[in-house]
């Protein structure tokens, strides 16, 4: 069965510091991978996605993620965090075997310290 694990429930970083949010997935075929961001009380906004090709993908707001098949990981990174990046981040995997379904991790909450 498909699943997504985000091992870090909450992360706190200082403004200007680098950030890495971890995501591991379980899926038998080639996954379609996504990172979404959610501000409090809002819907989810797509940060970036990976379908195929270059394993390092660039997204909006200066975020990037690297797909590592050998580790079943799709970690999200940002070189320098801004206070406005504080939000909840969700990793998701999409499947193609039974139509287009999406499986989400439990999320990582990011706090940015001034």
For another protein, the binding residues (CB under 8 A) are 9, 32, 34, 36, 41-46, 49, 51-52, 90, 92, 94-96, 99-102, 104-107
Compute the distance between CA of residue 104 and CA of residue 94 in angstroms, rounded to an integer.
9
Q: Which two tokens stand for residue 106?
A: 């439990």
Compute the distance between CA of residue 68 and CA of residue 30 in angstroms, rounded to an integer.
12
* Comparison of 13 and 105: residue with beta carbon closer to another protein: 105
* Comparison of 34 and 74: residue with beta carbon closer to another protein: 34
* Comparison of 96 and 113: residue with beta carbon closer to another protein: 96
Count of Cβ atoms closer than 10 Å to residue 112 Cβ: 19
- Least distance in angstroms from the C-beta of 98 to another protein: 10
Cβ pair 59, 47 in contact under 8 A: yes
- Least distance in angstroms from the C-beta of 114 to another protein: 25
């Amino acid at each position: 069965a498909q699943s997504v694990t985000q091992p870090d429930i909450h992360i706190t970083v200082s403004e200007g510091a680098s950030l890495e949010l971890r995501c591991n997935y379980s899926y038998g075929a080639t996954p379609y991978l996504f990172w979404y961001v959610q501000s409090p009380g809002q819907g989810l906004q797509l940060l970036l996605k990976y379908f195929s090709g270059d394993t390092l993908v660039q997204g909006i707001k200066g975020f990037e993620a690297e797909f590592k098949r050998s580790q079943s990981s799709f970690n999200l990174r940002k070189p320098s965090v801004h206070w406005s990046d504080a939000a909840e981040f969700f990793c998701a995997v999409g499947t193609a075997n039974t139509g287009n379904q999406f499986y989400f991790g439990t999320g990582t909450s990011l706090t940015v310290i001034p």
